[in-house]
Amino acid sequence: MNFDNPPFSIPIITGLIFVIAGIIMIKFPPKKINSLYGYRTFSSMKSQERWDFSQRYAAKELMKFGFILTVSSLIGLVFDLRENIGVIIGLGFMLIAIIFLLIRIENAIKIRFGKD
């Protein structure tokens, strides 16, 4: 088993960061709309109600996607790839997770509050 393999190390580190960030956001959610902490997009900052919903939803989704990334990192233990290809695959896992995370949160906001 090669723990230095990028398809293992990148998703597991990113996944653990996502899980920890989700736990922090659940335990210490940002109370007011701000530009420093929390899930901040144009749609989430339109109102306090949207802000509160998006913080709770984003925290849960962060933990879910963090778990998925952590589990998917086990694939990196099975395949021993050249470093360049491994880095591309590891970063690909991370980018796909981030894109799906943003899409899911923005869709949930749109479904809950409409397109205003």
What tens digit of pLDDT does each residue of 36-60 get? 999 999 999 999 999 999 999 999 9
Q: Produce one character per residue of 47-63: b if its CB has 16 or more CB atoms within 10 Å, e if not.
A: eeebbbbbbebbbebbb
Question: Would the pLDDT of 81 be above 80?
Answer: no
pLDDT in tens, 83-116: 788 888 889 989 999 999 999 999 999 999 987 7
pLDDT in tens, 2-22: 677 788 888 999 999 999 999
CA 66 to the chain's CA centroid: 6
User: Quick one: pLDDT at residue 53?
Assistant: 97
Cβ atoms within 10 Å, residue 116: 8
pTM of the model: 0.88
The whole-angstrom separation of Cα 110 and Cα 35 is 21
User: Quick one: pLDDT at residue 8?
Assistant: 84
Altogether, the residues listed in the chain come to a count of: 116
Residue 34 falls in which region: left (phi positive, over 0), alpha (psi -120 to 50) or beta: beta
